[in-house]
Amino acid sequence: MADESLFDFLHMEIVSHVYKHSSKGEMDNKDRAVCVSVLEGMGFRVGQGLIERLTRDSPSFKDELDIMKFVCKDFWTKVFRRQVDNLRTNHQGTYVLQDNKFCLLTQLSNGKQYLDQAPKYLAFSCGVVRGGLSNLGLDSVVTAEVSTMPSCKFQVVIQKL
C-alpha cells in the first residue's frame, strides 16, 4: 500500500522539481520539451535497470510480439501495478498499449479539466517503456496519449535498422 504510494509520491516530486527548475517564470514550448526530455531520460535509465532484474531468470524471447507481451504483463505489473488492458498491433512494428486505469493518473481529477497537464505525468513512463525495450534489443519511439483520465494509450513504434 504505502510502498506503492512511495513511487507515486516520489514521481510527483520529480515532475514538480523538473518543471520548477527548468525555467524561470513563464514556460514556453521549448522549456516544456526540455522538461519532458529530462523526465523521459530518467525513465529510460530506470526502465533499463528494471528489465535487467526482471528478465534475469526468463527464457529468451521468441520474437518482437513475445517481448511486447512480456512488457504488457510482467513488466507493466511490476512498474505500474496492473497489466495492460489491451494490446493492439499492425504487425509492422507499431503497438498500442492501453491501460484503462493508469496508476500515475489516478491521483488526478477524472474530468477534462487537467487533460493538458497529462503529458507531464507520462514522460517518465514513456521513458521506462523505451528503456525496457532498449535493453531487450528493440529501439523504439514511445509516446502517450490521454483522451479520458485515468485511461492512457501508449504507442510504441519499433525502429527497424
Among 30, 73, 78, 82, binds a copy of itself (CB under 8 A): 78
Name the strand (E) or helix (H) holding 52.
helix 29-54
Helix (H, G, I), strand (E, B) or coil at 58: coil
How many whole angstroms separate alpha carbon 149 and alpha carbon 146? 7
Sequence-separated (6 or more) residues with CB below 8 Å from residue 33: none
Residues 15-34 as x/- pattern, contact with a copy of itself by CB under 8 A: --xx--x-------------
Backbone angles phi, psi at 28, to 5 degrees: -105, -175
Stretch that binds a copy of itself, among 47-55, 84-92, 112-120, 140-148 (CB under 8 A): 47-55
Is residue 82 at the binding interface for a copy of itself, with CB under 8 A as the rule?
Answer: no
Is residue 57 at the binding interface for a copy of itself, with CB under 8 A as the rule?
Answer: no
Residues that bind a copy of itself (CB under 8 A): 1-7, 9-11, 13-14, 17-18, 21, 38, 42, 45-46, 49-50, 53-54, 78-79
